[in-house]
Amino acid sequence: MHELAICQSLLREVQRVAARNDASEVVRIGVVVGPLSGVEAPLLERAFTLARCGTIAANATLEIEEAPLTVWCESCGVESQVAMNALLCGRCGTWKVDLRSGNELLLKQVELSRDETAGATG
């Protein structure tokens, strides 16, 4: 259950973004999670509902985009969609491939709202 620790880290980052942008509230948080990131999206969602309490993101929604798992085979020049424990070229079957996507663990986007009285210039 390291998802809670990751969620707390995510929220600290979001709070800094909010502070830098003089936000009064965080409306939406967008993250990208790959299957090989070691993070389970449903667990992250559940941890988020706890971790957000009392923060500037207390009412925010968490949107998780799941990245595809793909590898690139240099000898075939082919990109294949693969399973987590079989990172093999879909054409020749070699394991000598590069991971193209699938280990992402990214904070992608934060949607903020701001009090108009807070001095926004528009």
Partner 1 sequence: MCDQCGCATTPDTVHVHDHAGVVTTRSVDAQSVEILTGLLHENDHVAAHNREHLDRHGILAVNLMSSPGSGKTSLLEATIDALGDRHRIAVIEGDLETENDARRIREKGVPAVQITTGQTCHLDAHMVHDALHALDLGAIDILFIENVGNLVCPASFDLGQHANVTLLAVTEGDDKPAKYPVMFRGSDLVLLAKADLLDVLDDFSPQKAVGHVRDLANPADVFTVSARRADTLVPWIAWLEDRLAACRGGMAPRPRSHPASRHSHHHPHHAGAAE
Q: Enumerate binding residues for partner 1 (CB under 8 A).
A: 1-2, 5-6, 9-10, 12-13, 16-17, 20-21, 23, 27, 31-32, 34, 36-39, 67, 71, 84-88, 95-101, 103-116, 120, 122
* CB of 45 vs partner 1, minimal distance in Å: 14
Q: CB 28 → partner 1: shortest distance, Å?
A: 8
The minimum distance between CB 7 and partner 1, in angstroms, equals: 9
Tell me: is residue 89 an annotated ligand-binding position.
yes
Is there a binding annotation on residue 2? yes
> Is the separation of the CB atoms in 7 and 47 below 8 Å?
yes
DSSP state of 83: B
Nearer to partner 1, 53 or 116 (CB): 116
Q: Which of 98, 101, 40, 23 is nearest to 48 (CA)?
A: 40
- Count other C-beta atoms under 10 Å from residue 81's C-beta: 12
Helices (H), ranges, 1-122: 3-20, 41-51
**Contact partners, residue 86, CB within 8 Å, separation at least 6:** none
Q: Which residues are annotated as a binding site for Ni(2+)?
A: 2
